[in-house]
Each structure stands twice: as C-alpha cells, then as structure tokens.
Amino acid sequence: MTVTLGNGTLTVAVEALGAELQSIRDAQGRELMTNADPAFWTGHAPILFPIIGAVQDDRYHVGGAVYHLAKHGFARRRMFAKVAHSDTFVRFELVDDAETRKLYPFAFMLHVEHRLEGATLHSEVTVTNTGDRDLPASIGFHPAFAWPLPYGRDRAAHRMVFSDAEVGTVAAIAANGTIAPERRPDPAVDRVLTLTDDLFADDALVYDPVASSWVRYGAPDGPQLRVDFPGMPKLGIWTKPGASFVCIEPWDGIADPEGFAGDIFDKPGIRRVAPGQSHRAAMSVTLEG
C-alpha cells in the first residue's frame, strides 16, 4: 500500500512496508530521491530500528541469551498499519508480535510519521516501551537522494555543507560492518564535503559524534536540499561508487565496535527506554532555491 501526500510544493509517496519514504517530487514533478537501481541498491529511505548498522556476527546478547538480528534491524522489512492520514500527513504503526519477539524479545509500539509543511518534509519516529522491563533501542534514518539532483548541474558539482565544524576524523567501518578501532581523516574542508565516488570506496563516512544539526546538499548554484537532524548524535553519509544517489543518514546509535561481545544494553549508542516511556527521533528535508 502506497500513501501519497501533497501540498502543491512537494509530493511525497510512502509505502506501508517499513513505513518507508519512496519519493519526494518538486512542484514540477522532478524526483529528488534515488531511482533505486537494482545494480546498486533498491532501498529508498528505510527506518532503522531497533539497531543501526551491524551487530557482531549478526548476534547480540540480552541477559545471557543470544539473539540474531540483521544489519539495521527488522522494522524496514515489516508491514506497518496506517493509523492516521490526511492530504499532508500520515502516521504508521508497528507493534511487537510473535515474529518480532524471536528477534527482539521486547514489547514495543513504533510510530513513523511523515508531514508536509511548505517546502519541508518532516519525519518522526517514536518508540514506546509497552512492556514491564527496560527496552534497548536505536533509531536511524537512511534517505537516499538523487545524485545529481534534477536541476541540470553535473554530478561532480554536488557537495555537502555542514552547519558546524566537525571533529576532524570519522569512524572507520570494518569488513564485517562493525566499527573498526582506527579512525579516518574527515575529508570535509572548512565544513564543505565535495562528493566523489572515491570517498565511499571503504563504505560510509560515519561522523561519530556529529557536531552539526543540519547539512545542505546540492550544487552551490542550483536548488539544494537542507537536511535537519536536531538532537541526533551521529551521521552517516553513504553511496556505492557509480550510483546515482547519496544517503544522508542521521542516527542515534551505531554499529557494534569490532569484537564487541557485551550485553545489548552496553552497546554504544543504545537508548534505555523505561517501561511506559518513549524515545523520539526526527529529521526534516527542505527544498531550497
């Protein structure tokens, strides 16, 4: 089931599978997101829950028990129920069941909302602990934007500008998807990251922590996208070399450190949500120019 939102400035499509954003089009119908070329990656903007990235050997520990969980968790592969919908707003819901508890033995309710306001798409994810023990969770966004954007500028002219100066290094991803102990130099110069395929030869750039609260993406002499992620402590930037997309991924968690074998509550970036409490993550995308 696909839900379409529109306000005359932007038109958005969201799929119930994963509550995943599929498309953002401008007023002239030009697509701002990935073409999902299967030669590279068929995702559009999966919601990452209850983990981000990989756990060591696709396994994690809870109080001495071992569970299996694939990279980025299971929410992106689950069918959500549509619980509210208007011309400019949709809310989807996912509740734990027997299948999720095989992978993640916790009671939860997950809401994903998408809302249009002028030239901005607001997206929000909220997990509520409906059980009687603490819930470990991370939430992440993974939107893939067209590279180049559909405004006639060359792919090589595209860049990202960070709102703030970053720490000077980025985390390195090991071959198995965990976080390696060494770090890489940050390729951004004076808050500007010039996009080239070579940046992603060794997987994503992972800003952990990220100082910025937004990045602006596009060619400097054309319309651009501003992605805001207030309060999100980490940011991934990723593509596959040669692909016609680039992902801007605000995260509140991260993959396991290489070799990690501790309990999931000790995993870096995991939020501990008490019974009856909620944890929220939000981002927005604004078309500028």
Cβ burial of 28 (10 Å; 0-12, 13-18, 19+) is exposed
Q: How far apart are CA 105 and CA 97, in angstroms?
A: 10
Band the pLDDT of 149: cuts 50, 70, 90.
Answer: very high
pLDDT for res 147: 98
pLDDT for res 151: 98
* Nearest Cα residue to 287 out of 194, 150, 89, 156: 150
SS3 state of residue 159? strand
Structure tokens at 29: 């119908």
| Mean per-residue pLDDT of the chain | 97
pLDDT for res 79: 98
Band the pLDDT of 104: cuts 50, 70, 90.
Answer: very high
Taking the mean position of all CA atoms in its chain, how far away is CA 118? 22
SS3 state of residue 51? coil
Pairing of strands 159-162, 65-68: unpaired
Q: What is the CA radius of gyration of the chain?
A: 18
pLDDT for res 155: 97
* Nearest Cα residue to 227 out of 33, 7, 30: 33
Inter-residue contact 94 to 81 (CB < 8 Å): yes
How many other C-beta atoms are found inside a 10 Å radius of the C-beta of residue 189?
Answer: 8
Inter-residue contact 90 to 3 (CB < 8 Å): yes
Q: What is the pLDDT of residues 203-214, one digit of tens each?
A: 999 999 999 999
Band the pLDDT of 281: cuts 50, 70, 90.
Answer: very high
Q: What is the pLDDT of residues 169-203, one digit of tens each?
A: 999 999 999 999 999 999 999 999 999 999 999 99
Q: What is the pLDDT of residues 54-95, one digit of tens each?
A: 999 999 999 999 999 999 999 999 999 999 999 999 999 999
Q: Could you give the domains of the chain?
A: 2-288 (2.70.98.10)
Inter-residue contact 108 to 127 (CB < 8 Å): yes
pLDDT for res 262: 96
pLDDT for res 50: 98
Percentage of the residues of the chain whose pLDDT score is greater than 90: 100
pLDDT for res 184: 96
pLDDT for res 145: 98
Percentage of the residues of the chain whose pLDDT score is greater than 70: 100
pLDDT for res 215: 98
pLDDT for res 114: 98
Band the pLDDT of 20: cuts 50, 70, 90.
Answer: very high
pLDDT for res 112: 98
